[in-house]
Structure 1
Amino acid sequence: MAKRISSKQTPQSKFRKFARILAKVIIWFIGITFVWVLALKFINPPVTFLMLQRGIERKIDGKEWKIEKEWIHFDDLSDNLKKAAIAGEDVNFLKHRGFDFKAMENAFEKNQKSKKVIGGSTISQQTAKNVFLWPGRSYVRKAFEVYFTGLIELLWSKERILEVYLNVIETGDGLYGAEAASRNYYHKSAVSMTKQQAALLVAVFPNPRRWSPAKPTSYIYRKQNLILRNMRRLGKLPF
């Protein structure tokens, strides 16, 4: 009499099945995200998760829905603003491939000695975070940030990264991008922003709902002066 073959899966077969499913999920994820990032090389992102979250928060607080933004092409943005963003947020932007490990190390050391948290994220990391990810802090989100930063550095030019960054970054309560900020604070287009105006705007980037170029504190003025000095050191930009 032939032995009856048990249909019960062994631990090895279960593991192989799980591994096949996981491999398919990873392949699909890489494929979808690759196409997504490649598409946004040519298509301007219409909205971000942060914009939606801030809009919902305003409604909860009893305020009107507000997402004020206007896209400005890279060539039309003030050179002063481009230089100020690099000087204030990521001085090695043109040299690194998405990550400035020296800046991360310095930020880590300073954070060990102070209660005030200092970030070491590059413009590329901030762009990846703003465009592709949800707001918040977690190791999972950080892992995705690293992944998307690598992708945009691979598929986008430095000009495109800086263009997207300056058009989607939060610049005030319900304000996003340099154009909306410039029209609200300076009553002019970001096309003609001066060095002082650009440096002042970038000085409030880390927390634009706490600080404002319209009412700069002494701390913001000090940051503005530091950015202006860094702008002089940068010299002429290659684009």
Structure 2
Amino acid sequence: MAKTASKKKTKGRTQGRLGKALTQLRTRPLAFLRGLLIRAVLGIVGVILLLVLLFAFVNPPTTQTMWSEGRRLGKPVKQDWVSIDDIAPVMARSAVAAEDANFCLHWGFDVAAIRAAISEGNKRGGSTISQQVVKNVFLWQGRSWPRKALEAGITPAVEAVWSKKRILEVYLNIAELDEGVFGVGAASNHYFGVPPAKLSATQAARLAAVLPSPKTRSAGKPSARVRKRAAQIVDGAATIRADGRAACFED
């Protein structure tokens, strides 16, 4: 009897809430839709925050870019997840020197780089490695304002929960380095036939040099432009090691 009464109360409450919602939809449709939108946004934010916490310890199984690239190519992409401890330190320094030299100094946004991008008419990127990780792991490609707004909101959360070493580890494993080749684990074998722990300074710099445009640049058959950029990255990697800007991801 008590169980039946409890079920009736639960059913009554559910019907009551549904009735109130239908009444609000009829009498105040804008308020109802606004409330529905707020709940949906809060739900999405909650899911993203849970994923931020999860991926601090668990490797992301895939990304939207990998999925779409695999679909375009009609076959699975190449990716071999590798711990950052099994990647040559010079590779980590080269990626930072190439993409975000102040990686250890900022909290997710490099204000100086953003200002430079604006002053140059957005011809150069101002995104940090942290922003690129957020874009690739949690969002999608493109330059739309909604994606940028979400990226701006999620990046501080990732910086607060993940270590710099973890951010860089994820970046080195999800960055596209050739058509259908993601991460330095797959790319080191693809281009040079060596494991990522055995990458030389020159090889690491060439991989970092293709990061901005992996479909038009090659680390295995570098153009004169890639060779020149790689030489700059070799110097940059040595510089950030010497001046301490690699300290946050090196033990």
Interval of TM-score (by shorter of Structure 1 and Structure 2): 0.7 to 0.9
The amino acid that maps onto 1:99 is: F
> Which one has the bigger helix percentage?
2
2:182 to 154, 176, 194: 176
Please state whether the residue corresponding to 1:111 is helix, strand or coil: coil
- Aligned CA RMSD, in angstroms, stands at 2.1
The whole-number CA distance in structure 2 between the counterparts of 1:136 and 1:85 is 22
- Cα distance change of structure 1 residues 84 and 16 upon mapping to structure 2, 3 Å threshold: same
Which shifted more, 224-233 or 172-181?
Answer: 224-233
Shift of 1:25: 2.5
Q: Give the AA of the match of 1:86.
A: V
What is the TM-score of this pair, normalised by structure 1?
Answer: 0.87
**Match for 1:73: what amino acid?**
S
Query: Matches of 2:72 and 2:128 in 1, distance apart?
Result: 27
Match of 1:3 in 2: none
Letter of the 2:121 partner, please give it: N
SS of the residue aligned with 1:235?
helix
Q: Which amino acid aligns with 1:129?
A: K
Q: 1:9 and 1:188, CA in 2 relative to 1: closer, same or farther beyond 3 A?
A: closer
- Check whether the contact 2:24–2:32 (CA below 8 A) recurs between aligned residues: no
Q: Deviations over 1:193-232 (max 9, x none)?
A: 1111111110010111110011111111111111112112
Aligned to 1:56: 71
Q: Which residue of 1 aligns with 2:38?
A: 23
Asked if the contact 2:48/2:138 (under 8 Å) is kept, the reply is: no
Report 1:33-182 matches (<5 A): 33-59=48-74, 65-111=75-121, 117-182=123-188
1:67 partner amino acid: V
Q: Which residue of 2 aligns with 1:4?
A: none
Moved more, 146-155 or 229-238: 229-238
Separation in structure 1 between the aligned mates of residue 28 and residue 142 of structure 2, nearest angstrom:
38
Letter in 1 for 2:240: L
2:20 corresponds in structure 1 to none
Partner Cα separation in structure 2 for residue 14 and residue 72 of structure 1: 52
TM-score by length of 2: 0.83
Q: Secondary structure at the match of 1:171?
A: strand
The one-letter code of the counterpart of 1:70 is: D
Aligned sequence identity (%)? 36
Pairwise CA distance, 1:41: 0.9
Number of positions where the alignment pairs a residue of Structure 1 with one of Structure 2:
224
Match of 1:195 among 195, 201, 213: 201
Instruction: Return the offset for 1:110.
Output: 2.0
Query: Which amino acid in structure 1 is aligned with residue 39 of structure 2?
Result: K
- Return the alpha-carbon distance in structure 1 between the equivalents of residues 58 and 24 of structure 2: 48
Segments of 5+ residues of structure 2 without an aligned counterpart are 1-22
Runs of 5+ consecutive residues of structure 1 not aligned to the other structure: 1-7, 60-64
* Larger Rg over CA atoms: 2
| SS of residue paired to 1:72 | coil
Deviation at 1:27, TM superposition (A): 2.5
